[in-house]
Amino acid sequence: MLFVVGCALADEVLPSWNDGQTKHSILKFVARVTDQRGPDYVAPAERIAVFDNDGTLWCEQPAYPQFRFGMDRMQTVAAKFPELKNREPFQSALADDLDGVIKSSVHGLIELTAATHGGLSTGEFDGVVNNWLATAKHPRFQQPYTNCVYRPMLELLGYLRANGFKNYIVSGGALEFMRPWTEKVYGLPPEQIIGSTVKTIMEMRDGSPVIVRQPEIESINDKGEKVLSIQRVIGRRPIAAFGNSDGDLPMLQWTAASRGASLCVYVHHTDGEREYAYDREASTGRLDKGLDEAKARNWTVVDMKRDWKRVFPFAESEATRK
Amino acid sequence: MLFVVGCALADEVLPSWNDGQTKHSILKFVARVTDQRGPDYVAPAERIAVFDNDGTLWCEQPAYPQFRFGMDRMQTVAAKFPELKNREPFQSALADDLDGVIKSSVHGLIELTAATHGGLSTGEFDGVVNNWLATAKHPRFQQPYTNCVYRPMLELLGYLRANGFKNYIVSGGALEFMRPWTEKVYGLPPEQIIGSTVKTIMEMRDGSPVIVRQPEIESINDKGEKVLSIQRVIGRRPIAAFGNSDGDLPMLQWTAASRGASLCVYVHHTDGEREYAYDREASTGRLDKGLDEAKARNWTVVDMKRDWKRVFPFAESEATRK
């Protein structure tokens, strides 16, 4: 394992990050917890970092990609679910009314996924996700959604991994909507993904056990539930946490309450030109209380416009931007 | 990482296992899946092994240690729970009637743990478990419960780890009853433990978030639920599974349904002299359907009396037994 320590290599690590306070706060933290002779040293096994996904690792505007996924699926299966058609978010989904769907928030997100994918085995669901990702495109960037990930954050995942960290996604998005692609895109294997879940049952099909998804929500992995799922799955308190909305605040607070050194980072969407600019009034990814708390507690706030040389991997022309 | 391949070293690996069909079936499987040029090669990331705990890694007779833990706690907190005193398993627990408690099975086990430990933070609960383990002793062996683990299984955990496997416990026992000691005893960190859970909530205490246990069951990790929790937490199908009761059967079936090579092992308690002899009629750790299925499908069945040179780490005098 390669350990890159300190700020001496600041120009070589995190190349998509502009030099400045934000980048240095990250480098400094990593240097502190990996310095074996320093007072803040943390053993590798305890170097747990947790990342929100929507809006922290990939673009969540104009709507969570998973909303589009559920809406597309709804067109296919609507006839099978007449009882849903007058209920939100299904009514809006059927009318192809994205704004209506967005209003249903994370709960609607999981409900749409659960209802439109019940009865599928986990293997079949993987196939549905992969097929959708192969053709669906982000409406503005005209790229596959899995290309609309933040290049600076990909570098950060790799940098932490190289320094002995174990990175987890802790997202409000559906667990099995992420796993089919997170290893390829983020280098994060299925056991390092935590998300919302639908109920599942085990049943025998052709003499073989299969796990079958039920059209019912099991857990919404948002706000305090993120803390509880971190404890349930990981059983260690993270020392670094990255989020972008108020839904991530408890996870950051939990991380900050660590006895030793900790790093709490908010990604602040300030760049309407290259991505989207939104915070306190947003219906998707609202960052209001979190912004105040970050200021009060001196957490690191990434100003996307100022701190990132480029946003997306496909945006080669941004590379020279300072 | 050290890779020990093949049967040539059979005398040096798994030294507490007698030479024979059982030991060879394990060595042969590991050799197959680690042979990079062979048809059954499995990449290290996919080498997931799952282990039941009670009766598979440590002694579950005359009762699950966690029952004793709950009963001991009940004496302390009984006055606080007058509404429980006429309900099982609490009535039997208060009467110190172990047989009565045992009848309540895995559900009673978790209920007793939940009810007698509600209101504690996860950190406080760790302390309660550690304090109990420091003084409680197995009634027959007069050893701390964490000494009453099977030495051959400890060797097996280490052998698999040395061959690139990632071992998980998938137990009906309570998650947070295991985590305080599984790393020290089995070398298994908290994120590799899956168990039954009680409901938890996050609340603020003195301005800091804490996770507080509720006196309510969240999930009973037994039978089919073991398969579902493996998918939820690990997200990969195991290639090796170890159990000792019918409660482990779905987990073994799920493992056996793998597309590639798999190893399914039942630990059969055949040694009333050194440990306990029980199977089809047992109220704790019943192995009935599983024994039939193991025979029908040619799974590996460990005959403890025949296959293990010694059972417990403290039983030095057994070392010469063949």
| Chain segment B222-241, per-residue pLDDT in tens | 999 999 999 999 999 999 99
Report the distance separating Cα A133 and Cα A185, nearest Å. Answer: 12
Residue B186 clears pLDDT 80, i.e. is over it: yes
- A79 and A194 part of one domain: no
For the full predicted model, state whether its pTM sits above 0.80.
yes
Do B172 and B220 touch, CB atoms closer than 8 A?
A: yes
Give helix A21-34 / helix A151-162 axis angle, nearest 10°: 20
Task: Please state the rounded mean pLDDT for residues B126-145.
Answer: 97
Report the distance separating Cα B170 and Cα B175, nearest Å. Answer: 9
CB-based contacts of A197, cutoff 8 Å, min separation 6: A174, A175, A176, A217, A218, A219, A221, B232
Report the distance separating Cα A231 and Cα A165, nearest Å. Answer: 17
Chain A interface includes B193 (CB < 8 A): yes
| Chain segment B32-72, per-residue pLDDT in tens | 999 999 999 999 999 999 999 999 999 999 999 999 999 99
The pLDDT assigned to B316 comes to 65
Contact B179 A45 (CB under 8 A): no
- B209 and B300 part of one domain: yes
Domain boundary among B103, B135, B167: B135
- B224 and B79 part of one domain: no
Q: Considering the domain boundaries, does residue B211 fall inside one? A: yes
Residue of B nearest to A168 (CA): B191
The pLDDT assigned to B4 comes to 45
DSSP string, A226-261: HHHHHHHHT-S--SEEEESSGGGHHHHHHHHT-SS-
C-alpha torsion sign, points A281, A286, A289, A291 = negative
Do B182 and B96 touch, CB atoms closer than 8 A?
A: no
Chain B interface includes A200 (CB < 8 A): yes
- B40 and B108 part of one domain: no
Q: Considering the domain boundaries, does residue B53 fall inside one? A: yes
- A120 and A242 part of one domain: no
| Chain segment A239-281, per-residue pLDDT in tens | 999 999 999 999 999 999 999 999 999 999 999 999 999 999 9
- A165 and A242 part of one domain: yes
The pLDDT assigned to B81 comes to 80
Q: Considering the domain boundaries, does residue B1 fall inside one? A: no
The pLDDT assigned to B11 comes to 62
Residue B190 clears pLDDT 80, i.e. is over it: yes
- B99 and B188 part of one domain: no
Chain B residues in contact with A227 by the CB 8 A cut-off are 202, 209, 211
- B110 and B80 part of one domain: yes
Question: For residue B119, what are the domain limits?
Answer: 65-135
ipTM metric? 0.93
Q: How many contacts does A have with B, using Cβ atoms within 8 A?
A: 71
Chain A residues in contact with B209 by the CB 8 A cut-off are 227, 250, 253-254, 257
- A49 and A84 part of one domain: no
- B234 and B109 part of one domain: no
Q: Tell me the pLDDT of chain B averaged across its residues.
A: 93
Q: Considering the domain boundaries, does residue A6 fall inside one? A: no
Least Cα separation, residue A84 to chain B (angstroms): 27
Contact B254 A209 (CB under 8 A): yes
Q: What is the DSSP letter of B52?
A: -
Domain count, chain A: 2
CATH code of the domain covering residue B220: 3.40.50.1000
Residue with tokens 């061959």: B163
C-alpha torsion sign, points A284, A285, A289, A291 = negative
Tell me, what amino acid is at B49?
A
Confidence of residue B7 (pLDDT cuts 50, 70, 90): very low
In the three-class reduction of DSSP (H, G, I as helix; E, B as strand; rest coil), residue B181 is classed as helix
Q: Considering the domain boundaries, does residue B16 fall inside one? A: no
Domain boundary among B111, B135, B159: B135
H-state helical runs in chain A: 21-34, 65-77, 90-94, 98-102, 105-116, 122-135, 151-162, 175-186, 224-233, 249-256, 289-296, 304-307
Nearest to B46 by CA among B239, B229, B231, B230: B239
The pLDDT assigned to A7 comes to 47
Q: Which of B179, B209, B235 has its CB closest to that of A235?
A: B179
Q: Considering the domain boundaries, does residue B318 fall inside one? A: no
Q: Considering the domain boundaries, does residue A252 fall inside one? A: yes
CB-based burial label for B176 (10 Å; 0-12, 13-18, 19+)? buried
Residue with tokens 């298994």: B188
In the three-class reduction of DSSP (H, G, I as helix; E, B as strand; rest coil), residue A277 is classed as strand
- B100 and B119 part of one domain: yes
Do A286 and A268 touch, CB atoms closer than 8 A?
A: no
Do B58 and B251 touch, CB atoms closer than 8 A?
A: no
Do B132 and B109 touch, CB atoms closer than 8 A?
A: no
Chain A interface includes B257 (CB < 8 A): yes
Do B211 and A166 touch, CB atoms closer than 8 A?
A: no
Chain B residues in contact with A234 by the CB 8 A cut-off are 190-191
Least Cα separation, residue A6 to chain B (angstroms): 28
Which phi and psi (to 5°) does residue B14 adopt? 50, 55
In the three-class reduction of DSSP (H, G, I as helix; E, B as strand; rest coil), residue A149 is classed as strand
Do A238 and A48 touch, CB atoms closer than 8 A?
A: yes
Q: Which of residues 210-229 of A touch B (CB under 8 A)?
A: 211, 224, 227-228
Task: Please state the rounded mean pLDDT for residues B294-322.
Answer: 85
Q: Considering the domain boundaries, does residue A81 fall inside one? A: yes
H-state helical runs in chain B: 21-34, 65-77, 90-94, 98-102, 105-117, 122-135, 151-162, 175-186, 224-233, 249-256, 289-297, 304-307
Tell me, what amino acid is at A299?
W
Q: Which parts of chain A have pLDDT scores under 70? A: 1-11, 316-322
- A172 and A257 part of one domain: yes
Domain boundary among A84, A112, A135: A135
In the three-class reduction of DSSP (H, G, I as helix; E, B as strand; rest coil), residue A270 is classed as strand
CB-based contacts of B300, cutoff 8 Å, min separation 6: B22, B25, B26, B263, B264, B265, B266, B294
